[in-house]
Amino acid sequence: MDYVRRAWRVKREKHMRFVVIGASRGLGLSLTQRMLKDGHQVVATTRAASPPLDALSGEFPGRLLVLTCDATDEAATQEAARKAGEFLGPIDAVCHNAGVLLDSDRTLKLHESDIADLRTTLDINVVGPVITVQSFLPYMAAGGRFFVVTSEGVGITSCGSWVPAYALSKAAATKACGILNASVKGHDFYAVHPGRMDTDMGRTTAQIQPEETAEGMLKLMTGQVPLSRDHWYIDYHGVPMQA
């Protein structure tokens, strides 16, 4: 029995079915690339045409479906989920990677913040993941898991003044994963700090390349790194973070 279960797990690890939300560049693109290179089948969403994703479609025919979808658009995300279900069958894991850190947030303190930018940040970084979960839940495999890319330093009492809209939004998105774990049976939700990556967003504070995070994320998503929903706020190695 153990042998059968192990063989089944290995088979699943070899050919799993994944969704990456927000895959046009940065971590989302690296993760999609890594999944395809490792033999998995992937649905990747982008809010505008993405030449690198189109190139990957050519390189991995039949294993990548690219869908255009703004992560804040409920109807478009529901339609993307339906198409993903058709293409992949039951989905093993979804990574909600889409996120923003707007320019005004890099310079203005919270008491001076641009309210329109604050609303946009919360919409994309907090409401977006909830829309993803609502839309994709019906298409998940039994035990299928969600990974929401959040950030470090999300604790309620650990406050700094830098990137305030972003900090608020990532704290809320992290908490959303805990609330979802308390609300939904049969699926686990993880908030993942991806490290300080050398991407358009993270260039000024970077310590690692997004490829390193992608490798770690994929180990979490395939189950190579064992996880427990008791520790749902983790880094990209699967190490529990302080909430």
Ligand X SMILES: NC(=O)c1ccc[n+]([C@@H]2O[C@H](COP(=O)([O-])OP(=O)(O)OC[C@H]3O[C@@H](n4cnc5c(N)ncnc54)[C@H](OP(=O)(O)O)[C@@H]3O)[C@@H](O)[C@H]2O)c1
- Ramachandran region of residue 62, left (φ > 0), alpha (ψ -120 to 50) or beta? left
Q: Which of 26, 85, 144, 216 is the binder for ligand X (CB under 6 A)?
A: 26
By rule CB under 6 A, what count of residues binds ligand X? 26
Q: Which member of 76, 84, 95, 124 binds ligand X (CB under 6 A)?
A: 124
19-27, 34-42, 102-110, 111-119 -> range binding ligand X (CB under 6 A): 19-27
Name which of residues 153 to 192 contact ligand X (CB under 6 A): none
**Least Å from the CB of residue 127 to ligand X:** 10
Whichever of 89 and 95 has its CB closer to ligand X, that residue is 95
Q: Using the rule CB under 6 A, is 220 a contact of ligand X?
A: no
- Of 44, 100, 171, 191, which lies in the binding site for ligand X, with binding defined by CB under 6 A? 100
Rule CB under 6 A: is residue 98 a binding residue for ligand X? yes
Buried b (16+ CB within 10 A) or exposed e, 96-116: bbbbbbbeebeebeeeebbee
Query: Is residue 227 at the binding interface for ligand X, with CB under 6 A as the rule?
Result: no
Q: Using CB under 6 A, which of 71, 126, 180, 191 touches ligand X?
A: 71
| Of 49 and 142, CB closest to ligand X | 49
Residues in 191-210 that interact with ligand X by CB under 6 A: 194, 196-197, 199-202, 210
* Smallest separation, CB 59 to ligand X (Å): 19
Tell me how far, at minimum, the Cβ of 41 lies from ligand X, in Å.
20
Question: Who's near 88: CB < 8 A, 6+ residues apart?
Answer: 17, 18, 19, 41, 43, 65, 139
Among 25, 82, 219, 237, binds ligand X (CB under 6 A): 25
CB of 203 to ligand X, least distance (A): 8
Binding site for ligand X (CB under 6 A): 22, 24-28, 47-48, 70-72, 97-100, 124, 149, 151, 194, 196-197, 199-202, 210
